[in-house]
């Protein structure tokens, strides 16, 4: 209860400061609208269907690209952790590409795929797959060596070892990597949508800028933050907490 009161208090304080700055006259009210006006714009966009349609379009792309990233990233991370060829030859390439910001892939994606969804999907996949692979490798390498020794002593080898010991043992770390990969994918998606007409939340931001409608820009930014927090809290944090309790990494409440 106290935690929720602190969170709500912090949000209320931020809104009060925002409203105070808006009314202070430091900035033109047209360029710095208050939270009430932004929330009114957000509700109006939700009522006329703009926000819902753009959100579904963005989340559809994100889900598609993110699933591809998971299907590639987790096996890649597993191979890097367990196979010497991948560790010696592939890992340096993965680490090098990880240093490249995901939006840098967009020009190449546009040349390869043209102005369509495939270009954005490619950018999102490249933005998240490497992070997932590196986190999976860390999770597998962090597995308790005693667990592997006990499994070996009991004769657990091959696929039984991978699916019965290795992956379940590394699962809490892998889920943390999936959460990290989702945040990378979300950022890459919005960056890609901002740069050309795409029908998603990024396009709503661009429309707000072109119309000089700061209230719309802030409303879409607020919606993006709320969607990000909702996915993090409802999906990833719930799964992460339950896994950690099941694996005895945190005290059950």
Domain-wise residue ranges, the chain: 35-246
Report whether pLDDT(3) > 80: no
Cβ-based neighbours of 202, under 8 Å, separated by 6 or more: 58, 189, 190, 191, 192, 193, 194, 195
94-153 pLDDT, tens digit per residue, is 999 988 888 889 889 989 988 888 888 999 999 999 999 999 999 999 887 887 788 878
Confidence at residue 73, expressed as pLDDT on a 0 to 100 scale: 94
For domain 35-246, the CATH superfamily is MetI-like (1.10.3720.10)
Cβ-based neighbours of 183, under 8 Å, separated by 6 or more: 228, 232
Q: What is the DSSP letter of 103?
A: G
Q: What confidence tier does 38 reach under pLDDT thresholds 50, 70, 90?
A: very high
Q: What count of Cα atoms within 13 Å lies in the side-chain half-sphere of residue 65?
A: 30
For residues 90 and 80, is the Cβ–Cβ distance under 8 A?
yes
């Amino acid at each position: 209860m106290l935690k929720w009161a602190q969170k709500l208090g912090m949000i209320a304080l931020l809104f009060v400061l925002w409203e105070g700055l808006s009314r202070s006259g430091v900035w033109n009210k047209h360029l710095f609208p208050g939270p009430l006006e932004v929330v009114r714009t957000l509700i109006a966009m939700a009522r006329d269907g703009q926000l819902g349609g753009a959100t579904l379009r963005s989340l559809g792309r994100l889900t598609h690209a993110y699933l591809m990233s998971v299907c590639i990233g987790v096996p890649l991370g597993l191979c890097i952790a367990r196979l010497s060829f991948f560790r010696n030859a592939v890992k340096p390439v993965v680490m090098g590409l990880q240093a490249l910001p995901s939006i840098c892939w967009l020009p190449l994606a546009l040349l390869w795929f043209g102005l369509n969804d495939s270009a954005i999907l490619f950018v999102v996949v490249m933005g998240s797959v490497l992070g997932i692979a590196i986190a999976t490798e860390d999770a597998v390498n962090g597995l308790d060596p005693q667990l592997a020794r006990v499994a070996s002593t009991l004769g657990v080898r091959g696929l039984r070892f991978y699916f019965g010991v290795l992956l379940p043992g590394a699962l809490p770390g892998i889920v943390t990597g999936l959460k990290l990969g989702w945040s990378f994918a979300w950022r890459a998606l919005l960056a890609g949508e901002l740069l050309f007409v795409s029908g998603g939340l990024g396009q709503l931001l661009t429309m707000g800028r072109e119309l000089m409608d700061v209230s719309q820009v802030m409303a879409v930014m607020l919606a993006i933050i709320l969607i990000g927090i909702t996915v993090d809290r409802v999906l990833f944090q719930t799964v992460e907490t339950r896994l950690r309790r099941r694996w005895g990494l945190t005290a059950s409440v």
